[in-house]
Structure 1
Amino acid sequence: MSIFERYLTIWVFFCVAVGVALGYLIPGVFQIVGTAEIAKVNIPIAILIWLMIINWAIKPFSVA
């Protein structure tokens, strides 16, 4: 396993902590991002979810 895979849990906790810290340090930016909606759907979240769906659809073929 690579270093990234071996310490994935630590990376996730680190990213969550950085996200929370940034939310406290610069809340205005995240409020603007939070209000970016179309038909009550948050645009940044929708884009990230579609990227995950695409990666999950492609992954089985790239491994095979």
Structure 2
Amino acid sequence: MSGGAAWRHLAALASALASFTFLALANERRDEKLLYRAPSHRERWARRAVGWPMLALAFALSIWS
């Protein structure tokens, strides 16, 4: 495995981890347990708007690697 491929694997892992974190925090139950409050509609929408493209990026990086 070349050095470039290793960085792409790490970038895919980091992107997937961040995206799943954003998507989990977009869920009301998870947010109440982690942040001790329910998210507003705008916060849920923003976290989903960030989480799904990051998950697509992780998928693209894993295919490219």
**Shorter-normalised TM range:** 0.3 to 0.5
Computing the radius of gyration over CA atoms, which structure comes out larger, 1 or 2? 1
More strand by share: 1
More helix by share: 2
Q: TM-score by structure 2 length?
A: 0.40
RCO greater where, 1 or 2, for CA within 8 Å and sep 6 or more?
A: 2
Q: TM-score by structure 1 length?
A: 0.41
